[in-house]
Amino acid sequence: MPDQSKIAIQCSLLSRRGGGLPAAVLPISKRLGHEAFLVTNDAPEETPAEMVCKVRSFGPFSTASRTLNANGARLVHTHGLWTNLSVAAVRWRKKTGSPTIVSPHGMLDFWALRQGQRKKDIALRLLERAHMNGSAAVHALNVAEAEAIRASGVRAPVAIIPNGIDPVPEETYVPPNWARRPTLLFLGRLHSKKGLSELIDAWTKAHPSLPDWQLAIAGWDDGPNQFRQQAAQSNAPITFLGPLYGSEKSSALAHCSAFVLPSFSEGLPITVLEAWSHGKPVLMTEACNLDDAFRAGAAIKVTTDSDALAKALIETLRDLPHLNSIGEAGRRLAEAKYTWDAIAHRFRALYAFALGETESCADIWA
C-alpha cells in the first residue's frame, strides 16, 4: 500500500468503556503506523496523541466528517454500529467518493439485534444498511457473522478476517492470592449475554463433584449486581475479582486452571484467544464462533443449559491430563492462526482492494 494512503480507523470508544472493541482496533492501528489515524469519542491516555483525533459524540455530525477530510483520509474503516461515526463515514463518502469499510463486530447477530430491537431496526433501516451497502467491503470475524450480515440485507462484498492476539511475553507473573487452588476463570463483561447466570447455576450443581475447585469471575459490572446476588445464594466457592487489565489480567490467565465462556452471543472473543496464548484449556459455546477450535481439540463445546453445562464441567475438570492437552492444542492454534502480525497483513490486503490498488482480496467471502 503506498505511503500516502491514510486509513481513518473509527471506533466510538477506545478506552476500557469500549469493552472488547479497543482490543480489536488498537493492535491493527499500531501495526499500520503512519499509514493510519484513529477517530474516536473517547481514547485512552496512553494512545499516542499524533495517532488520535477525538470528536464529540453529540452535536453536529459534520465535525467528525471534517476531521476525516482535514487528516487526509483516503479510506474510512468504521468499527461498530449505531454511533455518530457511522453518520460521519456516510457523509464523508458522499462528499469525496472515497471508499469505506464497516466492521459490525457481532452487532448484527440475531441475539444482539434483539437487545434494544426497535431502535436498532430504525437505525438499520435509515442509516446502517445504506452505510454497509455503499461500502467497498463489510468485515466479518467469521462465517457465522458473514451470514448474519447477509441476512440483515447487506449486499456489499464481505471479507472474513478474525481477531488476533499478541504473543505472551516470557515473564513470570506474581500468583494472585486466589490461585492457591484449582480455578475455573470467567473473564469478560458481566452481562446476561455471556451466560453468567447459567454458569453460576451450573457451578453450584457441579461443585459437590469438584470440591477442590473454585470459580473466579473477572470483569466489569454492566448493570445491577444480579450475579453477585445469585452467587451469594450458592454454597459453591465463587470469587468476584472485579475488572482486570494489563499485568493483572495476564497473571489471572497464567495462573487459572481452565477458562470458560458460555456465551449466548459473541463476535469473536479475544479473551478466548488470550487464554489459548497462555496454554489454558477452554470451555465455550458455539456462539463464540471458533468452530476450528473444536476440530483441533483446543476447546470443549458446552451449552447454556445449566444442567448440561454442569455435566461438562465435571467431566472435563476431573481429567487433568486431558485439560493439559486441550490447553496445548489451543496454544498451537493461536500461534498458527491468530497473531496480530498475520492479521494486520490481511487487513492491508483488504485496504488495497478497497482502494482499487488490487483486483481481488483472498479474504472476500461473497
Domain pair 7-164+339-354 / 177-337, same fold: yes
Model pLDDT, residue 315: 97
Model pLDDT, residue 3: 43
Model pLDDT, residue 51: 66
Model pLDDT, residue 223: 66
Domain positions in the chain are: 7-164+339-354, 177-337
Nearest to 347 by CA among 10, 56, 1, 48: 1
Model pLDDT, residue 197: 97
Q: Which fold has domain 7-164+339-354?
A: Rossmann fold (3.40.50)
Model pLDDT, residue 59: 57
**Residues contacting residue 15 through CB under 8 Å, at least 6 positions apart:** 22, 42, 43, 44
Low-confidence ranges of the chain (pLDDT < 50): 1-4
Model pLDDT, residue 218: 96
CATH class of 177-337: alpha beta
